[in-house]
Amino acid sequence: MTKIASLEIDGKKYELPIVEGTEGELAIDIKSLRATTGGVTTIDPGYKNTGSCLSAITFLDGEKGILRYRGYSIEELAQKADFLEVAYLLIFGELPDNTQMAKFHDDIKAQSHVDEDIKKILDGFPKSAHPMGVLSSLTNALIAFNPSSVNVDSEEEMYQAIVRILGKFPVLTAWAYRKRSGLALDYGDDNLGYVDNFLKMMFKKPSGEYVSNPIIVDALDKLLILHGDHEQNCSTSTVRIVGSSHAGLFASVSAGINALWGPLHGGANQAVIEMLEAIKEDGGDTKKYMAKAKDKNDPFRLMGFGHRVYKNFDPRAKIIKVAANEVLNELGIDDPILEIARDLEKEALEDPYFVDRKLYPNVDFYSGIIYRALGIPTEMFTAMFALGRLPGWIAQWKEMRLRKEPIGRPRQIYIGENYRDFKEINDR
Ligand code: CMC
């Protein structure tokens, strides 16, 4: 039976349909609210209660700690699939068979280069530039080198746009790092897997040979899978809203990178390591920092803790915590900040401030410890998140365009001055 919500405004009653998702989520459909009520709207800063779209890509249940891509659990995907398979799943809706997978990888490889003139743009950045700024700028610059707009109704054009960005993005990410490290740019090797090739472009020494390390490749693969998509978070909503004006895929993704950069979103992974380092330098007194995090007069927050949606645990954090232990053991690394992270987590999980507010470690709490063990420098962490999130952004952009969603344009409630007469400057 169709469910209906009743609304009463100044004694007048309205009925609003309720939309039900495949997992039983209910949403009051307010599409006709302004028209039927004569202009009444809703207000929801931060969109904490607002569903912006119908989507068939990612399901998450914040109370139960469930995350699924296209119906498959994140735990199973992280354990059994590789990143490119998951990218295919997110973007096209089904896991690929061997033939589809081979073609997908070949088509991406055919696009795994950027115009040589991109190097001139890269050269213009100071070495100190943050890789996220470089990455978003270069992604945007790709528009100039690939100016034709995509006819989204053509399956082939859509497919080509997808493999184009999947091919070029790792090159830009690795080059942003090499620029910062002062290393000559590397062109990768088509004989390597997607993630292995990215690692080669990052780390191959100009005079040495690249030797791939399966532990490092597997660990990075898993991290990228865990970051693959997360429904309508800040950067994904940005990608969808920019794309809703029919801006192209490069432009939409470039905007998403900027949204991801902020420390309350993807930038938290860098902020976590900086925080853990600072605690270590300060003598390792975790209790002092717990007190700071709880002090409302102190702007300090426990980075890597809390989540808008997860109010029980972040399933990605659970997987990453185990992986961090494994990777450090396998690589024979003893990182003192892992101990500090474990202490902070233990204290927070027993502290009423965190328990009452349902603040748990999120995906970013332990990811930086793995990145560090893999030799990835702190300022590259958020760029790694972007590389992992790319398939999600593509899938969401594609879904938004194919569903012919209208341009994103929220309303506001004006709280400024009422009408007043203009005064000439000499009369003010
Ligand atoms: N440390 C201390 N207090 C916190 C924290 C924290 N990390 N996170 C939330 N709180 C408190 C907050 O002060 C507020 O307290 P009160 O009710 O007394 O005012 C309460 O918990 C609710 O917080 P909120 O800011 O209203 O919650 P939100 O849903 O708007 O924000 C968040 C979610 C992730 C932005 C926030 O928890 C945060 O800033 N965490 C630290 C940054 C971080 O780790 N971000 C990564 C998010 S996961 C990866 C991603 O998707 O990018």
Ligand 1 centre to CA of 263 (Å) is: 11
- Indicate which residue's Cα is closest to atom 19 of ligand 1: 296
* Strands laid side by side in the 72-73 sheet: 58-61, 66-69, 72-73
- Could you identify the atom of ligand 1 that is nearest to the CA of residue 304? 44
Lining ligand 1 with CB less than 6 A are 230, 233, 264-266, 268, 293, 301-308, 357, 359, 362-364
CA angle at residue 113 from 107 to 114, to 5 degrees?
130
- Indicate which residue's Cα is closest to atom 44 of ligand 1: 304
Quote the tokens at residue 134. 């470089």
Ligand 1 centre to CA of 363 (Å) is: 13
- Indicate which residue's Cα is closest to atom 35 of ligand 1: 264
Residues 99-113 as b or e (16 or more Cβ within 10 Å = b) = eeeeebbebbbebbe
- Indicate which residue's Cα is closest to atom 30 of ligand 1: 308
Q: Residue 73 gets which letter from DSSP?
A: E
Q: What is the pLDDT of residue 147?
A: 82
Burial of 352 (C-beta count, 10 Å sphere; 0-12/13-18/19+):
exposed
pLDDT mean values, one per 10 residues, the chain (428 residues):
91 96 97 96 96 97 95 97 98 98 98 96 96 98 89 96 97 96 94 97 94 93 97 98 96 98 93 94 94 95 92 91 89 90 92 94 90 92 97 98 96 97 97
- Could you identify the atom of ligand 1 that is nearest to the CA of residue 314? 48
Mind giving me the DSSP string for 5-70? EEEEETTEEEEEEEEE-TT--EEE--TTHHHHHTS-----GGGTT------SSEEEETTTTEEEET
Ligand 1 pocket mutation, candidates 237, 264, 363, 385, criterion most atoms within 8 A of CB: 264
Burial of 359 (C-beta count, 10 Å sphere; 0-12/13-18/19+):
buried
Q: 370, 327 in Cβ contact below 8 A? A: yes
Quote the tokens at residue 420. 């007043």
Ligand 1 centre to CA of 269 (Å) is: 14
Ligand 1 centre to CA of 273 (Å) is: 17
The residues carrying an active-site annotation are 307, 364
- Kindly report the pTM of this predicted structure: 0.94
Q: What is the pLDDT of residue 149?
A: 82
Task: Tell me phi and psi for residue 17, to 5 degrees.
Answer: -65, 155
End-to-end, the C-alpha distance of the chain in Å comes to 63
Quote the tokens at residue 299. 């702007």
The candidate with the shortest Cα–Cα distance to 320, out of 250, 272, 352, is 272
Q: What is the pLDDT of residue 25?
A: 95
Mind giving me the DSSP string for 297-361? TS----TTB--SS-SS--HHHHHHHHHHHHHHHHHT---HHHHHHHHHHHHHHH-HHHHHTT--B
